[in-house]
Amino acid sequence: MSYKTYPPKPLGVAMIGYAFMGKTHSNAWRNVASYFDVPAFEQKVLVGRDAPAVAEAAEKYGWAESATDWRTVIDRDDIHVVDICAPGWMHAEIAIAALAAGKHVLVEKPLANTLAEAEAMTKAAAAARTKGVQSMIGFNYRRVPALALARELIAEGRLGTIRHVRAAYLQDWLADDQAPMTWRLRKETAGSGALGDIASHAIDQIQYLTGQSILETSGLLKTFVSRRPGPEGLEDVTVDDAAWATFWLTGDMGASVEASRVATGQKNSLQIEVYGTEGALSFNLENLNELGFLDATVPVREQGFRRILVNEPEHPYMAAWWPQGHVIGWEHTFTHQIRDFVTSISAGEAPSPSFEDGLQVQRVLAAVEESANNKSTLTAVKDAAFAIEGA
C-alpha cells in the first residue's frame, strides 16, 4: 500500500504505548488542529498490553478505542499513521512491520536500542519512502521555537564560522540511591541509560543547529548506583547514570556533551552554547522561551549577551499561539512535531528528522559506548556521512 491509495481524508492514527510519551503525544494529537491548519485525521486507536489500563487511557486521552495487539491494528485499512511511543526495545519490530504495511510512522527517540536495529529500520524507511510512505523520528527539541530560531541565526551567518558547541543535559531523578528500579535501568529494555535517553537529544541538537556531522568521539560512561530496589529486592542496574563525550565534526568544529540523571538539583536542564567567530548563542530548556545572543561584530564596549524572548509571531511556530509576551511550554514542542509530521504526509514530502538522522545519532551513541568500554581516546563514528536535515 502506498500513500496515494489512502483516502484523501481523514488520516486514521494509531498510537502504540500510553505511558509518559503516550500521554504527551496524545495531548499533541488532541490539540494540534485547534491551533494549526493541518490535514484532517482521527485518533482511532490506542494500543497497550494492559487491557483495562489502556482502555482507561484511551478514553481519557481522546482515542476512539483501545487494543492490546499492535499487529492486528497495523493491518487495519482505516489506520494510515502509526505513532510509536513504546520502549526502545520494541521500536524496530513495530516500525518495520508498520512501514511494510504501508503506514506512515513516527517513532520516539532514540531510534532503537542497537545499531543493527536502527540500520534495519532505516533501510525499511528508505524502501517505504519510494512508495510514498513517510517516516520520522521524534527529536522534539527541534521544535522548540528558540532552538529553531537559533538554527536560523546560525544558517544566516550571524555567528560567523562556528568553532565549538557545548551541551549538557542534566536531571536528578536518580540522584537518590533508593530510587526504584525501572525498565529504563536495564540494558535489555533501554539500550543505554543517560547516554541514549537524554544525551541523544544533545547530540541531535549539535548536528541540527550547526548542519554538521559528528566524525569522531572520546567517551566516558559511569554508573554511580549499581543496584536499586525492585519488586523482589535489590536489582542490578545495567546502564549508565551519566555520560561524557567530546566530538570532532565536519566543518572543522569541536563539541562536547555531558548527560546525567544524578545531577542533584537539576530537573530537566538542557543547556546549549554555540560559539562562532562573530557571535555566540546560549539556551537552557528550563527557560525555553528565551535565547541568549551575543553579537561580536559590534564594538567590544557594547558586547554582551542579550535576551531574546521568543514569542513574537515572526518567530518559528509562534504565530499559532498567544499574543506577544505569553509564553509556551514543553508540551508545545510535541504539538509542533505532529503539525510538521502530518503536513509533510499530506504534501507527499519526507518529514524531518528522518530515520537517517536517527541512525546517525545511533552511530554516535555506539561510538561513545565503544570508546568508553575500550577506554580509547578517539573512536570514529561509522559511516557518518548522512546529511543533517532541517525541520
Residues 54 and 185: their CA atoms lie apart, in Å, by 24
Whether residues 217 and 285 share a domain: the answer is: yes
Whether residues 18 and 49 share a domain: the answer is: yes
Whether residues 40 and 125 share a domain: the answer is: yes
CATH number of the domain that 106 lies in?
3.40.50.720
Whether residues 247 and 364 share a domain: the answer is: yes
Residues 314 and 122: their CA atoms lie apart, in Å, by 35
Among 133, 165, 195, the domain-final residue is 133
What is the reported pLDDT for 278? Answer: 98
Among 100, 133, 166, the domain-final residue is 133
Whether residues 86 and 165 share a domain: the answer is: no
Residues 218 and 380: their CA atoms lie apart, in Å, by 9
> Grid coordinates 499513521 are at which residue?
81
Q: Residues 201, 202, 206, 207: is their CA dihedral positive or negative?
A: negative
Domain that includes residue 193, residue range: 144-328+355-380
Whether residues 266 and 307 share a domain: the answer is: yes
Residues 60 and 57: their CA atoms lie apart, in Å, by 5
Residues 337 and 341: their CA atoms lie apart, in Å, by 6
- Note whether residue 209 is domain-resident: yes
- Note whether residue 283 is domain-resident: yes
Question: 171-209 pLDDT, tens per residue?
Answer: 999 999 999 999 999 999 999 999 999 999 999 999 999
- Note whether residue 346 is domain-resident: no
CATH number of the domain that 157 lies in?
3.30.360.10
> Grid coordinates 543535559 are at which residue?
169
Cα 285 off chain centre by? 14
Residues 242 and 221: their CA atoms lie apart, in Å, by 6
Whether residues 129 and 221 share a domain: the answer is: no
DSSP per-residue string spanning 226-267: -EEEETTEEEE--S-SEEEEEEEETTTEEEEEEEES--TT-S
Is 66 within 8 Å of 54 (Cβ atoms)? yes
| Coil, strand or helix at 46 | strand
Whether residues 160 and 302 share a domain: the answer is: yes
Among 112, 133, 154, the domain-final residue is 133
What one-letter code names the amino acid at 114?
T
Distances (CA, A) of 345 to 12, 35, 91, 128, 186: 12, 18, 21, 13, 35
What is the reported pLDDT for 384? Answer: 58
What is the reported pLDDT for 6? Answer: 41
User: Domains in the chain: how many in total?
Assistant: 2
First and final C-alpha spacing in the chain: 27
- Note whether residue 177 is domain-resident: yes
| Residues in contact with 47: Cβ distance below 8 Å, sequence separation at least 6, in sequence order | 14, 15, 16, 17, 18, 54, 66, 67, 68, 69, 70, 73
What is the reported pLDDT for 389? Answer: 53
Q: How many Cβ atoms sit within 10 Å of the Cβ of residue 300?
A: 7
H helices of the chain, in order, are 20-35, 51-61, 70-74, 91-100, 115-129, 145-155, 187-190, 194, 200-210, 332-347, 355-374
- Counting residues of the chain whose pLDDT is more than 70, the rounded percentage is 96
Residues 234 and 99: their CA atoms lie apart, in Å, by 40
Per-residue pLDDT of the chain (391 residues; tens, 9 = 90+): 333 344 457 999 999 999 999 999 999 999 999 999 999 999 999 999 999 999 999 999 999 999 999 999 999 999 999 999 999 999 999 999 999 999 999 999 999 999 999 999 999 999 999 999 999 999 999 999 999 999 999 999 999 999 999 999 999 999 999 999 999 999 999 999 999 999 999 999 999 999 999 999 999 999 999 999 999 899 999 999 999 999 999 999 999 999 999 999 999 999 999 999 999 999 999 999 999 999 999 999 999 999 999 999 999 999 999 999 999 999 999 999 999 999 999 999 999 999 999 999 999 999 999 999 999 877 899 875 554 555 4
Write out the three cell numbers for 173. Answer: 531523578
| Coil, strand or helix at 295 | strand
Question: 352-373 pLDDT, tens per residue?
Answer: 999 999 999 999 999 999 999 9
Q: What angle do CA 202, 146, 166 make, to 5 degrees?
A: 35
Whether residues 168 and 240 share a domain: the answer is: yes
- Note whether residue 339 is domain-resident: no
- Note whether residue 342 is domain-resident: no
Whether residues 46 and 157 share a domain: the answer is: no
- Note whether residue 95 is domain-resident: yes
Whether residues 95 and 170 share a domain: the answer is: no
> Grid coordinates 544525551 are at which residue?
199
Residues 79 and 58: their CA atoms lie apart, in Å, by 16
